[in-house]
Chains A and B, each alone.
Chain A
């Protein structure tokens, strides 16, 4: 295959990564933006979403679409509820102190991960996609008879992958509407801008925090349910999304939703394209160094204002 089809394939894969990443990262970004809490356990909420999706799909039987549809609704709700419980029992009692909450969420990471290991086990398990039609993509080539359309082998995608991109876009739009056009979004933004003043105006800040923490975790879980038919559910699968979400949130500007989505697209696409040319380990090394250096030299993120 030539370079062109490779790039198309890589950008399609990248678009799927970007879609899922945007959902996960927006969850992380919401929590950081409103609560000023760096949630190290975010990747584990993602993993929980995938594992719960497997449980549901496995125990439902029937047509795979049925189990998947139920998982799409139930997994984010369950994970959101777990997150709300964690917020009320742990984070609230730490008074949302930035450093202590990091330590506590590291603890939470190990608790969730290891409990999953004890119950779900160390195997990676697949979930069947609800629909999975293969779609081939044509390519144009200047051959003996002038330009002609060919169908290169291996160049194609599946209807499911396109659906993932569509679903992620819909949900992100929903989050945007929630934040900008509803009363609860207004209250969240007020809390983000000035916690003290929000309290003074009678906003139940602690309830808002619990809601935001649950919403952030639910978004990660939703992203995982969408990706689990492509990847597999495994108890250690939370590491990469956590790292990538961090990268996205930091590059996009801490707490800025449009910046986060933009950075997710950038990182997702470049991740797909870079990993065609470089080894994944080298790509990860470059990515982690990039995050470190961006934080050092542009603490506000690439799109955000510089300075503290």
Chain B
């Protein structure tokens, strides 16, 4: 098989497997997997910036929350129906990520991390500050009646699973297409050696800008979908923790791999799910995993797989 056929078989196979799983999974894991697919879409968005472009952002919760609140506030206060609300959320993510990119991309390395962290924190505090509309930490519930898309009830478990799968498949396809496109290859080149790419005549700033907007928009789409499918928007989704999570998932799964974000999210979700049954201090697990990963497996699970067995993995 050629590399291209292998790639299509592997990723298509995963989507078919996810499609088939819904008929056999018990209700609890069925719901979990829908959640994981939405969160994995968020991680895929994060991975485009972190894994492929080499920019470590500590502020992606800003984009996730922009999507969630763009959608949620649209439904709650402007009376939008689901489709325009989703678009509003995605558009909010695109605008916010473009604005942050224009500022943050003037910095590099550690300064970039801190700038994104600070702006995301300002975003989180802004959500709290306008508590009158956002209901702050408490958040607001999006009623079942407000979650009807073209007559389909998105609060129904099966419909929800399908919607999550469609979102995940779209994000997977976008990222796969992007990294095989010359534009994506230039991003990887920027990650590996920025100076050399600049010398070859590429416009580094524009490439990074587009990468950050794509990354932010995918994150916002995931945020909007999360709010819609699970019927809740709250300030905790804008907090630092939700900027750390995608970093954790992508590092665990493997930065700069297409499947890494999904594998990482799946592992971490169940790890936290199991440990939160044992203790309320479940974030301890996240901390330990982060430290162990940076120490022993900076490539992540899929990254190690690529290094050892499947060299053709995108």
Binding site for B on A (CB under 8 A): 38, 90, 93-94, 98-100, 102-104, 106-115, 117-118, 243, 246, 250, 279, 281-282, 284-285, 288-289, 291-293, 295-297, 299
Contacts and interface: CB of A to CB of B under 8 A. Distances in A.
Interface stretch (B73-81, B122-130, B142-150, B299-307): B122-130
Given A102-B113, A104-B290, A292-B103, A118 B119 contact: no
B280 A117 contact: yes
B17 interface: no
Count chain A CB atoms within 10 A of each CB in B119, B122, B251 and give the residue with the most.
B122
Contacts of B284: 110-111, 114-115, 118
Interface stretch (B23-31, B104-112, B161-169, B189-197): B104-112
Q: Is the interface of A mostly helix, strand, loop or mixed?
A: helix
Given A100-B298, A289-B118, A281 B129 contact: yes
Contacts of A106: 244, 247, 287, 290
Given A281-B128, A285-B129, A99 B286 contact: no
Nearest to A249: B114
Contacts of A103: 56, 247, 251, 290, 293-294
Given A103-B247, A285-B126, A289-B119, A38 B114 contact: yes
Interface of B: 56, 58, 103-104, 106-107, 109-111, 113-115, 118-119, 121-122, 125-126, 128-129, 244, 247, 251, 279-284, 286-291, 293-295, 298
Nearest to A115: B284
Contact of A292 (B119, B125, B286, B294): B119
B294 A94 contact: yes
B125 A285 contact: yes
Count chain A CB atoms within 10 A of each CB in B109, B128, B290, B294 and give the residue with the most.
B294
A111 B294 CA distance: 14
Contacts of A281: 125, 128-129
B97 to A, nearest CB: 15
Contacts of A98: 109-110
A292 B291 CA distance: 27
B129 A100 contact: no
Contacts of B281: 114-115, 117-118
A246 B114 CA distance: 9
A285 B287 contact: no
A103 to B, nearest CB: 5
Count chain B CB atoms within 10 A of each CB in A90, A111, A112, A118 and give the residue with the most.
A111
A284 B103 CA distance: 20
B255 to A, nearest CB: 11
Given A99-B109, A99-B113, A292 B283 contact: no
7 contacts: A99-B113, A108-B287, A110-B283, A110-B287, A111-B284, A117-B280, A293-B103
Contact of A104 (B110, B122, B291): B291
B54 to A, nearest CB: 9
B287 A295 contact: no
A250 B111 CA distance: 10
B125 A288 contact: yes
Contact of B110 (A38, A243, A289): A38
Contacts of A104: 290-291, 294-295
B281 to A, nearest CB: 4
B114 to A, nearest CB: 6
A89 B208 CA distance: 35
Nearest to A90: B291
Contact of B122 (A108, A109, A288, A299): A288
A289 B122 CA distance: 6
A284 B125 contact: yes
B200 to A, nearest CB: 23
A245 to B, nearest CB: 12
Contacts of A100: 294, 298
B216 to A, nearest CB: 16
A299 B107 contact: yes
Contacts of B290: 103-104, 106-107, 110
A295 B56 CA distance: 16
Contacts of B121: 243, 288
Contact of A111 (B110, B129, B280, B287): B287
A108 to B, nearest CB: 6
A103 B291 CA distance: 7
Nearest to A38: B110
Contacts of B286: 107, 110
